[in-house]
């Protein structure tokens, strides 16, 4: 088994698509479903939606219309949001920049993977629990072991699948 490594999502998808890698742990988004073979669910989920600063409350989708929403490059969550021309969308470079823009009052909300947005706050020096309000969740994606379609029945992939199943049975998957 080759060494595990963390890489930016765009590079990971490129590498898996071009044969530079075999498998990854990813949220099972429509893009992932289209391009890769889903092998095993990890039993955890990625919540995707919009999060605002403390004090700015989102109770329903229509509440988004009163805010400027930071949209990090490459983020697409739901066609309803992506195609909605009534929402003010401000393109940003990434989650970290989106959080800085929120702190400076240039956006009131950020769309994307909620845990990634919270991590963006953390690396900018903000306590996510104090900085953000409760998110408005659009979708919940299962986190999966996914592999290139041409590798899905290889012994290597089957061993990875069995390892995940063992971690699930012992409850250790949450620690990973």
Start-end of H helices in 36-154: 79-82, 95-103, 114-123, 128-131
**pLDDT at residue 78 in the model:** 81
For the segment 15-38, what is each residue's pLDDT rounded down to a tens digit?
Answer: 888 888 888 889 998 888 888 999
**pLDDT at residue 152 in the model:** 81
Q: Has residue 139 got a pLDDT over 50?
A: yes
pTM: 0.80
**pLDDT at residue 100 in the model:** 97
Alpha carbon 142 to its chain centroid, in Å, reads 10
**pLDDT at residue 96 in the model:** 93
Percent of the chain surpassing pLDDT 90: 63
**pLDDT at residue 18 in the model:** 85
**Average of pLDDT values for 169-173?**
84
For the segment 150-161, what is each residue's pLDDT rounded down to a tens digit?
Answer: 888 889 899 999
Lowest mean pLDDT among 7-16, 31-40, 93-102, 136-145: 7-16
**pLDDT at residue 17 in the model:** 83
| Sign of CA pseudo-dihedral 95, 100, 101, 103 | positive
* C-alpha–C-alpha distance, residues 105 and 101, integer Å: 6
For the segment 60-88, what is each residue's pLDDT rounded down to a tens digit?
Answer: 999 999 999 999 988 888 889 999 999 99
Helices 95-103 and 114-123: angle between axes, nearest 10 degrees: 70
**pLDDT at residue 2 in the model:** 52
Query: Are 49 and 137 within 8 A, CB to CB?
Result: yes
**pLDDT at residue 1 in the model:** 45
Start-end of H helices in the chain: 9-18, 30-35, 79-82, 95-103, 114-123, 128-131, 155-170
- β-pair partners for 47: 140
């Amino acid at each position: 088994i080759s060494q595990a490594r963390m890489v930016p999502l765009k590079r990971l998808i490129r590498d898996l698509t071009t044969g530079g890698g075999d498998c990854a742990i990813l949220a099972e988004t429509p893009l992932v479903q289209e391009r890769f073979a889903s092998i095993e669910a990890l039993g955890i989920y990625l919540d995707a939606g919009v999060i605002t600063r403390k004090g700015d409350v989102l109770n329903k989708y229509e509440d988004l219309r009163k805010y400027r929403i930071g949209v990090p490059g490459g983020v697409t969550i739901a066609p309803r949001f992506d195609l909605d021309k009534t929402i003010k969308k401000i393109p940003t470079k990434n989650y970290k920049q989106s959080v800085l823009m929120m702190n400076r009052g240039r956006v009131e909300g950020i769309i994307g993977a909620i845990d990634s947005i919270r991590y963006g706050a953390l690396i900018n020096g903000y306590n996510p629990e104090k900085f953000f309000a409760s998110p408005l969740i659009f979708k919940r994606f299962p986190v999966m072991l996914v592999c290139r379609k041409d590798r899905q029945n290889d012994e290597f992939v089957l061993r990875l699948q069995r390892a995940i199943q063992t971690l699930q049975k012992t409850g250790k998957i949450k620690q990973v």
